[in-house]
Homo-oligomer: A and B are copies of this chain.
Amino acid sequence: MNETIQVMLGHRSIRKFKDAPVAKEQLDVIIEAAQHASTSSNMQAFTVIRITDAGLREQLAVLAGNQAYVSQCPEFLVWCADLHRYERAGARALPEGEEPRSTTENFIVATVDAALAAQNAAVAAESLGLGIVYIGGLRNNPRQVSELLRLPQYVYPVFGMCIGVPDQEPLVRPRLPREAILHENGYCEERIDPAIDQYNVTLSDYMSERTNGKAATSWSQAMAAKKDAPRLHMREFLYGQGFRLE
């Protein structure tokens, strides 16, 4: 097994970092790796906002649901889906008044482009011995985040990412059985329930070990609990940012 694959198989989210900066050369190469990810039709429909201002970090940490590591981590990046640059670029080559339309399709493209780039950044960081965690909590208050970061129309924050030298060694979390994820020539419905049964036990055991027996949460319980954080504001927020899910 090569070094690259070892890095990926060793991934676990890091939420506690040493008080050591990420070197400029490291950040440079992390961003370069992000830029080299695949992108739909070369749209490169993402922007990264590096947050170095301490006050801004504090505000983002609160908006993300009081996640202290957002303010404390050495580097915090906000990954945005960005159709603004694409619209500006395309408008130059279109007849006056015509511009690329904001659609569900473009929304998917921009969201995927941001995710592919971010994942390259994550792997690059981990290959340098750094740890990362994605911060979906930025979608708790996306309008406020967008205002703070002066995001123009057609740009939205998909997630944040903390980066730094790990100061904890969490276990790698077990995943669903492979047969639940990888199907052949068609969706295999019969595999789903047995896989959930099996994974409920696996995850419950893992959670029990991780919490010294305090919380043996199964996967079903964890997924049911997601119902309490539905972020029902996302559509209205996205329309406010100019996105059209039409």
Contact = CB atoms under 8 A, between A and B. Distances in A.
B220 A89 contact: yes
Q: How many copies of this chain does one complex carry? A: 2
A20 interface: no
A33 B8 contact: yes
B192 A84 contact: yes
A5 B175 contact: no
A50 B183 contact: yes
Nearest to A98: B227
Interface in A69-125: 80, 84-86, 88-94, 98, 100-101, 103-106, 108-109, 111-112, 115-116, 118-120, 122-124
Nearest to A126: B4
Interface residues of A, number: 118
Contact of A184 (B49, B111, B185): B49
A88 B189 CA distance: 11
A173 interface: yes
A130 to B, nearest CB: 12
A127 B222 CA distance: 34
A112 B158 contact: yes
Interface stretch (A39-47, A163-171, A208-216): A39-47
